[in-house]
Structure 1
Amino acid sequence: MLVDIIFPNLNSNMTNKDYITSRAILSTRNDWVDNNNMKMIGMFQGGEMVYHNFYSAIDDPHNYYPSEFLNTLAPNGLPPHVQKLKIGCPVILLRNIDLANGLCNGTRLVVRGFQRNSIDAEIVVGRHAGKRIFLPRIPLCPSNDDMFPFQFKRKQFPIRLSFAMTVNKSQGQTIPNVGVYLPAPVFSYGQLYVAMSRATTRTHIKILALPPNAEAEEEDAKREEKKIAKKKGKGQGNQKDVPKKKKSVTAVDGTYTKNIVYKEVLAL
Structure 2
Amino acid sequence: MILVFCDPGDVRKLWNAHYNSLSEDYRRQYDNVNRVHNMVLTYMSVFLQSMGNKLDNFDLPTLKTDLSLQSGVFREVQEECSIVVEDDHLRAKEFLNPEQKYAYDEIMRHVCIDCTGVFFIDGPGGTGKTYLYKALLANIRKLGYIALATASSGVAANNMPGGRTVHSRFKLPLTPDNNSLCRIQKQSGTAQLLRLAKIIIWDEASMAKRQVVEAFDRTMQDISGVALPFGGKIMVLGGDFRQVLPVVRRGTRAQIVDSSLRMSPLWSSIINLRLTINMRALTDPWFSNFLLRVGDGVEETVDGSFIRIPDDMVIPYTDKEKSLDSLIDAVFPSLEFNRSKSDYIISRRIYYSVDEAIDDKNGFYLLEFLNSISVNGLPPHYLRLKVGCPIILLRNIDPANGLCNGTRLICRSFQQNVIDAEIAVGQHAGKRIFLPKIPLCPSDDDMFPFKLKRKQFPIRLCFAMTINKAHGKTIPNVGIYLPDPVFSHGQLYVALSRGVSRCNTKVLVKPNENSKGDGVYTANVVYKEVLHD
Q: Shift of residue 11 of structure 1?
A: 4.6
Correspondences of 1:75-114 after superposition (within 5 Å): 75-114=375-414
Report if the CA contact (8 A) 1:90-1:111 is conserved.
yes
Secondary structure in 1 aligned to 2:396?
A: coil
Secondary structure in 2 aligned to 1:203?
A: coil
For residue 158 of structure 1, what is the amino acid of its counterpart? Answer: P
For residue 466 of structure 2, what is the amino acid of its counterpart? Answer: T
For residue 83 of structure 1, what is the amino acid of its counterpart? Answer: L
Using the TM superposition, name which of 53-62 and 172-181 deviates more: 53-62
Corresponding residue for residue 258 of structure 1 = 523
Using the TM superposition, name which of 73-82 and 131-140 deviates more: 73-82
Corresponding residue for residue 8 of structure 1 = 333
Q: Which of 504, 507, 513 lines up with 1:204 in the alignment?
A: 504
Q: Shift of residue 117 of structure 1?
A: 1.2
Corresponding residue for residue 371 of structure 2 = 71
Corresponding residue for residue 159 of structure 1 = 459
Q: Give the distance between the partners of 1:7 and 1:195, measured in 2 at CA.
A: 17
Q: CA RMSD in A?
A: 2.0
Q: Shift of residue 264 of structure 1?
A: 3.0
Report if the CA contact (8 A) 1:46-1:87 is conserved.
no
Q: Shift of residue 192 of structure 1?
A: 0.7
Q: Percent identity?
A: 63
Q: Shift of residue 204 of structure 1?
A: 1.3
Question: How has the CA–CA distance of structure 1 residues 152 and 198 changed in structure 2, closer, same or farther, with 3 Å as cutoff?
Answer: same
Flag the structure with higher strand content: 1
Report if the CA contact (8 A) 2:360-2:450 is conserved.
no
Question: How has the CA–CA distance of structure 1 residues 4 and 60 changed in structure 2, closer, same or farther, with 3 Å as cutoff?
Answer: same
Specify every segment of 5 or more residues in structure 2 that has no aligned partner in the other structure, as ranges: 1-325
Q: Shift of residue 46 of structure 1?
A: 4.9
Report if the CA contact (8 A) 1:76-1:144 is conserved.
no
Q: Does 1:51 align with 2:351?
A: yes
Secondary structure in 1 aligned to 2:523?
A: coil
For residue 255 of structure 1, what is the amino acid of its counterpart? Answer: V
Corresponding residue for residue 128 of structure 1 = 428
Q: Does 1:190 align with 2:479?
A: no
Report if the CA contact (8 A) 1:182-1:210 is conserved.
yes
Q: Give the distance between the partners of 1:175 and 1:53, measured in 2 at CA.
A: 31
For residue 508 of structure 2, what is the amino acid of its counterpart? Answer: L
Q: Shift of residue 176 of structure 1?
A: 1.4
Q: Give the distance between the partners of 1:46 and 1:254, measured in 2 at CA.
A: 43
TM-score, normalised with respect to structure 1: 0.71
Report if the CA contact (8 A) 2:374-2:380 is conserved.
yes
Q: Shift of residue 250 of structure 1?
A: 5.6
Task: Show CA shifts across 1:187-239 (max 9, x none).
Answer: 22111111011111122110000101x4xxxxxxxxxxxxxxxxxxxxxxxxx
Specify every segment of 5 or more residues in structure 1 that has no aligned partner in the other structure, as ranges: 15-43, 215-248
Report if the CA contact (8 A) 1:181-1:209 is conserved.
yes
For residue 451 of structure 2, what is the amino acid of its counterpart? Answer: Q
Q: Does 1:139 align with 2:439?
A: yes
Secondary structure in 1 aligned to 2:465?
A: strand
Report if the CA contact (8 A) 2:331-2:479 is conserved.
yes
TM-score, normalised with respect to structure 2: 0.37
Q: Give the distance between the partners of 1:144 and 1:124, measured in 2 at CA.
A: 29
For residue 7 of structure 1, what is the amino acid of its counterpart? Answer: F
Q: Give the distance between the partners of 2:423 and 2:337, measured in 1 at CA.
A: 22
Q: Give the distance between the partners of 2:417 and 2:439, measured in 1 at CA.
A: 13
Question: How has the CA–CA distance of structure 1 residues 94 and 267 changed in structure 2, closer, same or farther, with 3 Å as cutoff?
Answer: closer
Q: Shift of residue 261 of structure 1?
A: 1.4
Q: Shift of residue 263 of structure 1?
A: 4.6
For residue 53 of structure 1, what is the amino acid of its counterpart? Answer: S
Report if the CA contact (8 A) 2:489-2:525 is conserved.
yes
Q: Give the distance between the partners of 1:61 and 1:88, measured in 2 at CA.
A: 42
Q: Give the distance between the partners of 1:187 and 1:117, measured in 2 at CA.
A: 40
Bigger Rg over Cα:
2
Q: Which has the higher contact order (CA 8 A, sep 6+)?
A: 1
Q: Shift of residue 145 of structure 1?
A: 1.8
Secondary structure in 2 aligned to 1:71?
A: helix
Secondary structure in 2 aligned to 1:76?
A: coil
